[in-house]
Amino acid sequence: MSDFLRSYLTVAIFGGAAVALVAISLGLARVLRPNRPSAQKLLNYESGVDPVGSGYSQDQVRYYLFALLFVMFDVEALFIFPWAVRLEVYGLFGLVEMAIFIFILTLGLVYAWRKGVLRWA
Amino acid sequence: MTGPIDVPAVDWAGLLPITSLVVGAVLALLAAAMVPGRLVERVAPAFTLSVALVSMGGSVALWQRLGDDAPFATIGGAVAVDRFGAFVALAVAAAIVLSTLLAPGWLRPRGHSGVELYVLLLLSGAGGVVLAMANDLVVLFLGLEILSISLYVLAGYDVARRGAREAALKYFVLGGFSSAFLLYGIALLYGATGTTNLGRMGDFLAGNLPRQQGLLLAGLALLMVGLAFKVAAVPFHNWAPDVYQGSPPPVTAFMASAAKAAGFAGILRLLVTTFAPLQVDWRPVVWVLALASLVLGSVLAIVQDDVRRMLAYSSIGHVGFILLGVYAGSARGVGGSLFYLAAYTFMVVGSFGVVTVLSTPGGDDDRHPLSTYRGLAARRPLLAGAFTILLLAQAGVPFTSGFVAKFVVIGAAVEEGTYVLAVVAMLTSVISASMYLRIVLTMYLVDPDPRAARIAVPAGAAVCLALAVGVTVLAGFVPSAALDAARDAMPVLLGSP
């Protein structure tokens, strides 16, 4: 075994120990504990109050469009900061490149806006 | 502070096949957002066609220019400008043209409005061309992702339909998974060779093969998994039947032609140039992939009842044939694979064109049983005739492009001494012929359903079918020009300047 692979041996041992720890503690608990289920015990736990309604419910997921638009600006900022710090070095070439980049991203926003994504209805 | 950075030289004319598609897509999206009314929607197909034709023009110009100039790498060695890229770019643009001709006749009866399908076709095509022209593993990954992400959306374009949602989700989850494999492979290869540039990597491998090859071979294997998934080679084919079945047929046509051509472009460029020194190692892998694809594709196609699934499995079989040329790795083999890809583009888009014409809007879109084709010859003789020619071409009947393509790749494989693969290829082409003939017999010998509605053939679909059949027959009778072109398109290792 090469040194390179041996250094990964630690990771493997650590992973094995982690799995073993969980397996032993859960397994021991299972062997030792008494098992007397009742209807009360199997209820969903809602802070000690009797649960209301089903455990499954649907959530509004229309936030995801805003999340997507946010990611767009996030990425934009990610690229603009390093560019702005070294503006002189990149010169005209960098300016044009950044203009094209921002133009294409803005295009996405314009498209989303015209398609009515920004209206909360 | 240092002076201005070195801006890498960009050969804009060489990039025209890519840039035209991207600019076209951006313009179409902008127009759709800004111009009110339905004007943009109405001109979108014509616009998409002209953009694809500009891209084709760029590829042809590039091809002619490279007759005099030597191939070179541009943008700091990241993009290869060679005849190989131009050839695949032409095939991808042709797939865009043919699919765009099919799209309006499918969109309108289903009440879809908007230009997104055309925009996504253009973007996906641009990704395919980037993949074909990539001279750096990172650019290759970028092209693959642009190609795939657009295709995920396109697969679920008909989102109200259950089958379309299934197709999109399956393609997305499995595709994302395979992309991760590919990316990990790139990381390992970078670790093994110290570069992601295909030219420098090839130079390094040719000069000094590392003694510890584990990292290198694992990287190459993971890379192969990612690309084999994209072209749907067995055992990475599981997504293909469901996705081909659930996606809109014009999209499936594009998927089976352009995505396959682009994926194979990546495989060919990697294996034949950069990893040529490792041929001993990758050949057995390709051998197994080819054998499994040939056998499973043809055998499973027989037992299908849905025509789209039949075509999906048959396309897996075709992957096996194309892999024969990859296995050979010679000028003849690579040329054969490229010719096969180009010929298959027309065959498969034409076939799915017939599927498009025969799918009726509504709940029926989820099913497309063989009984749809009962007595088609009596109802629509020309349509049945066109489908017959396209199916016979896929079976490899002489005087069609399919025969020439199969002949060349099998010949190349035999030249390299793999008789087993060649014999299996010939046997499986007989097996799959029985499947194609089953469709033909249903069209000609079974009486039509008297209650069946009249079949309307939209003008675009008619043009697409005429083009597909025309090219398929023409390339069967006079294949020499296309074959010579495909042989000239051998990829070359573009080392650092």
ipTM above 0.95, yes or no: no
**Angstrom distance (rounded) from CA B344 to CA B497:** 36
> Which residue's entry shows tokens 């054998």?
B291
Question: Which two structure tokens, joined as six digits, stand for B184?
Answer: 């990990």
Q: Establish how many alpha carbons lie within 13 A of residue A119's alpha carbon, considering only the half-sphere containing its beta carbon.
A: 5
pLDDT tens digits, one per residue of A112-121: 888 888 887 6
Residues β-bridged to residue B369: B306
Question: Which two structure tokens, joined as six digits, stand for B435?
Answer: 């499947």
Residues β-bridged to residue A46: A49
Nearest in space to B391 (alpha carbons), one of B426, B447, B330, B434: B434
Centroid of chain to Cα B224:
16
Nearest in space to B452 (alpha carbons), one of B348, B391, B378: B378
Interface check for B2 against chain A (CB to CB < 8 A): the answer is yes
Interface check for B9 against chain A (CB to CB < 8 A): the answer is no
pLDDT score for B155: 95
pLDDT tens digits, one per residue of B193-251: 999 999 999 999 988 777 778 889 999 999 999 999 999 999 999 999 999 999 999 99
Sign of CA dihedral B319, B324, B328, B333: negative
Residues of A in contact with B6 (CB under 8 A): none
- Does residue B281 register a pLDDT over 80? yes
Residues of A in contact with B30 (CB under 8 A): 107, 110-111
Nearest in space to B443 (alpha carbons), one of B390, B383, B355: B383
- Would you say B460 and B101 are in contact if contact means Cβ atoms under 8 Å apart? yes
- Would you say B143 and B179 are in contact if contact means Cβ atoms under 8 Å apart? no
First CA to last CA across chain B, in angstroms? 28
Lowest average pLDDT, out of A37-46, B300-309, B454-463, goes to A37-46
| Residues B316-345 as b or e (16 or more Cβ within 10 Å = b) | bbbbbbbbbbbbbbbebbbbbbbbbbbbbb
Of the partner residues B2, B3, B30, the one whose CB lies closest to the CB of residue A107: B30
Residue of B2, B6, B7 to mutate, interface with A, max A Cβ within 10 Å:
B7
pLDDT score for A66: 84
**Angstrom distance (rounded) from CA B96 to CA B121:** 7
| Angle of CA points B233, B234, B237, to nearest 5° | 75
pLDDT tens digits, one per residue of B56-98: 999 999 999 998 888 989 888 899 999 999 999 999 999 999 9
Which amino acid is present at B374?
A: R
Tell me the Cα Rg of chain B. Answer: 22
Residues of B in contact with A91 (CB under 8 A): 4-5
